[in-house]
Structure 1
Amino acid sequence: MRAFFFVVLGCIGLGSISVVVTIAKSAPSFDRSHPDYATFAAVFDQADRAFNAGQSYVIIDLAPLNRGAWKTACLFAGYTHPIEEMERLGARVDQADRDRLGKARGFRAAPVEETELVIAFTNEAGRAHFLHFQSGMGQQTQHYLECVTKPETRLAVSEKSVLGRRTPIPQ
């Protein structure tokens, strides 16, 4: 009986270790070291507060992204697939980005989870770059995906944004 107890306890311990390893492998590495991370994290935090205060839309200006050196830029909120969309737009995607954002891993439902956000942009040569943020604009913008091509730099994000239908910037 005592040996059975230790075998069961060992199996539980190994199972727990397996779950912890799976969670650790599925946890994304957010791009906190990128020079634009802090700036845009503050913009998204302010947008979330505006939505929570009852504002129906916010304007996100991507002009300063990558010191202005971008051609097309997109916002991807929770439950979106940035790699697929950027490839659809004709961007070249590095294998490292494909590995980290190409598909959901572990316990994640999508490459960009519920409250996260990704900014993706292409440079003049058509190469895609990705900035993965731990926090986006809140749950009200889940499934939001929209792109802008220069000379435009601003996106209107509505808490009622509909996938595939652009939110016009109010005049």
Structure 2
Amino acid sequence: MRLRSRLRGEFPRGWCHSAQWWITGIRDLTLNTTAAVATVVFVGEAKRALRHRDEPRTLARLSGTFEGYVASLLVNSGGLAVLVTMAIEEGLPVVLTALLAGWYLPNIAISATVFVVVARSRTRQPAAWAELDFVDQHAPKYGRPPETIEEYRAQQLRE
């Protein structure tokens, strides 16, 4: 897919006047930031991922994106490593160390759970995920009508 096609998909004509475009963008940014920083909020999503681990459509519609959960895993693991280093080197107070560890460990556990479930599903059901990725990549967004053959096909697969 060429850059022009991708830009047209993300920035359709009149995007700056489209309330739906702005609302969707702000919602996605908020969900991904929350998933990266405070994954504990998505404990229900982790449970849903475990219950529906063999259903790619359900896993693809989890709140926050897969990238948000991966970012959470990296950020919180790094934070825990820094915390351990500071506790050993600087002698942080036990209460502060316990509070921060109590924040990092659940975030790591939840993001790791979602990461493993989605990765397992992607390796076991590549055809279903290929279809979902095609729809995600080519389906018209923000209420825009389909303009290309791929967009028509993606819209039919979505419905």
TM-score (norm 2): 0.26
Structure in which a larger fraction of residues adopt helix: 2
Q: By percentage of residues, which structure has more strand?
A: 1
